[in-house]
Amino acid sequence: MKHSVAAASLALQITSALAQQLLPVQIRAPTVAHFEAIVGNDTFDFGCRPVAHPTEDGQYKLHALLTRDQINYLANEYREDDSIEIRETKVTKRAASAPIGSGDRFSSGATAPLGLGTKASGTTIASILNVNEIGSAVTGLANKFPGAFFKYNLPNKSFQGRTSVAFYTGAGSDVSEYHLYLSAGMHARERGGPDNVIYWVSDLLEANRTGVGLKYGSKSYTNAQVKSILNAGVVIFPLVNPDGVVYDQSSGSLWRKNRNTKSGSSGSSIGVDINRNFDFLWNFRKYYTASAAPASTSPSSEAFYGTAPESEAETKNHVSVYSKFPKIRWFMDVHSAAGDILYSWGDDDNQSTNPAMNFLNSTYDGKRGGVGDNTYREYISSTDLTAAKRVGDATAAAMRGVGGRSYTSIQAVGLYPTSGASDDYAFSRYWSKPGVNKVYGYTMEFGYSTNFYPTLTEFNQNILDTNAGFMDWALTAISVGLE
């Protein structure tokens, strides 16, 4: 039986996904090895990363968003292979997805947002923030908490000329006192990410002002815990990819990348995947085994890595935060949708016995990314691994504790490697850039696989889940250490 797509077929460039509706698909197989060739096809859309989940009957399922042509192509490739099943999932969630806000509910900053943690149980938020409202919400918080909340413009304008804003709060004006960094909105279609971080910070500030605690579903936190998080210093880059989010919110096209047209001016050839553009093993053709597909060199791919590491304004802005706040120790990048908390490394399996086997050692160029083998495994000290896993486990447990959703904490490589990702870049800086602080990097994947457009109920549940996750992530990080 055939378990892989023919090599010639892997190069097939299928009609742009923008020209056809993307349909949720579940591919089932008895082992993860059956998915290897499918995942290697960079015309297919697997969301943030390919995730193969075990099923109750002992198989595995891989979620994807495919066009009708792509579904028919796979069905034809595997028509004689009974071990692989390709089925469309009957999902109606996009048709009833949470609405995008119209106008400006914060009146250019005259009012400030308030999250769910300081409101009565059962309170809901009626719509997702539009791009203008994200900026207005930040201004509103700055106006409501003068001297305690600081916003600033990031140095690089987006391809379409937008200015991005970051903010910091809790530890005063001394930037050397800030240790926690969160970003969101890197992938345009992952709706609700900026809302999650903004509503969380608004809850922290309001609870601190009024002397109360916070409650997210079944998870409760004291005012003392709120104060300890603020005292650790919180930095937020709430909307990394403004051009992409504007386009996605106006088109409903499940747009992922930014809107840079330098590598392609139409359809899916537009844009770079910002989360494959960071300076960590970016040139994967050099660093990874030929069988690995951690990113793509094709502009039409959802995982297109760009023209150089940090080629994109959005990536440069993200990196600039580390220079402004030199004592950042813990980083969280907020994404959807897989239901996981990811910790380093993402390029290969971890190992703690051979320090020489590391991402800077050219001896191993061309050998990385073969997950599950012993040819290469990325070094992480046992101390760092214990710390990273402890914080990741606490975050996932908090998210599960809100209302019973399933969240897991796993190493970022999972079953398939990545390159140029924000979490690995954060962790790698300590070894690749002399004199910088060590940063533990995480990715939070809220929600369910391929459900990028949540219903209104799901959107509100995502806020509760992520905000509890942020609380325990920060509190556990503080207990592990900020210096």
pLDDT tens per residue across span 187-208 = 999 999 999 999 999 999 999 9
> Could you tell me which residues come within 8 angstroms of residue 320 by beta carbon, excluding any fewer than 6 positions away?
154, 155, 156
- For residues 201 and 287, membership in a common domain is answered with yes
pLDDT band at 47 (very low <50, low <70, confident <90, very high): confident
| pLDDT number for residue 20 | 65
**The predicted structure's pLDDT at residue 23:** 82
Query: Are residues 105 and 82 part of one domain?
Result: no
DSSP state, 13?
-
pLDDT band for position 16 (50/70/90)?
Answer: very low
pLDDT value at residue 37: 82
C-alpha torsion angle, residues 316, 319, 322, 328 (rounded to 10): 150
| Cα dist from 284 to 59, 261, 310, 321, 330, whole Å | 30, 22, 14, 25, 26
Distance in angstroms (rounded) separating the CA atoms of residues 5 and 423: 31
Residue where a domain stops, chosen among 35, 69, 88: 88
Tokens read off for 348: 């290969």
Classify residue 445: in a domain, yes or no.
Answer: yes
Is residue 400 in some structural domain?
A: yes
| Structural Rg of the chain based on CA atoms | 21
**Residue 480 falls inside a structural domain:** yes
Active-site choice (36, 190, 302, 445) = 445
Question: What confidence score (pLDDT) does residue 8 get?
Answer: 33
The pLDDT of residue 1 is above 70: no
Mean pLDDT of 384-395: 98
CATH for 260: 3.40.630.10
**Stretch 346-354: mean pLDDT:** 98
Whether residue 403 lies inside any domain: the answer is yes
Same domain, 24 and 43: yes
pLDDT digits (tens, 9 = 90+) for 73-115: 898 888 888 889 998 875 544 556 899 999 999 999 999 999 9
- Rounded mean pLDDT of 343-354? 98
Place of tokens 């796993």: 410
Confidence grade of residue 42 (pLDDT, cut at 50, 70, 90): confident
Average pLDDT on 305-334 reads 98
- What's the CATH number where 17 sits? 3.30.70
pLDDT band, residue 4 (cuts 50/70/90) = very low
Tell me the percentage of the chain whose pLDDT exceeds 70.
Answer: 94
Answer whether residue 1 is part of any domain: no
Does the structure show a pLDDT above 70 at 11? Answer: no
**Closest by Cα among 263, 260, 221 to 475:** 221
Q: Are 335 and 48 in contact (CB under 8 A)?
A: yes
Number of C-alpha atoms within 13 angstroms, CB side, residue 128? 28
Amino acid at the residue 351: Q
Q: What is the mean pLDDT of residues 308-319?
A: 98
Query: Is 302 annotated as catalytic?
Result: no
Q: Are residues 202 and 66 in the same domain?
A: no
Q: In this model, does residue 7 exceed pLDDT 90?
A: no
Q: Which residues of 224-250 are buried (b: 16+ CB within 10 A; e: fewer)?
A: ebbebbbbbbbbbbbbbbbbbbbbbbe
Same domain membership, residue 65 and residue 162: no
Who wins on pLDDT, 242 or 405? Answer: 242
Token output for 377: 């495994």
Which amino acid would we find at residue 405? R
Q: Are residues 346 and 413 in the same domain?
A: yes
Residues 22, 160, single domain; the answer is no
Q: pTM value?
A: 0.92
pLDDT band at 319 (very low <50, low <70, confident <90, very high): very high
The amino acid present at 127, given as its one-letter code, is S
Question: Where does a domain end: 36, 65, 88?
Answer: 88
The per-residue pLDDT for 49 is 78
Choice among 41-50, 108-117, 160-169, 426-435 with the minimum mean pLDDT: 41-50
Contact 387, 393 (CB under 8 A): no
More confident residue, 16 or 74: 74
Nearest to 338 by CA among 278, 412, 425, 389: 412
Residue 94 within a domain: no
23: containing domain: 7-88
Q: How far apart are CA 343 and CA 442, in angstroms?
A: 5
Pairing of strands 234-237, 180-184: parallel
Is residue 148 domain-shared with residue 43, that is, in the same domain?
A: no
- Taking only the tens place, the pLDDT of each residue in 429-482 is 999 999 999 999 999 999 977 789 999 999 999 999 999 999 999 999 999 999
Q: Are 432 and 374 in contact (CB under 8 A)?
A: no
pLDDT of residue 274: 98
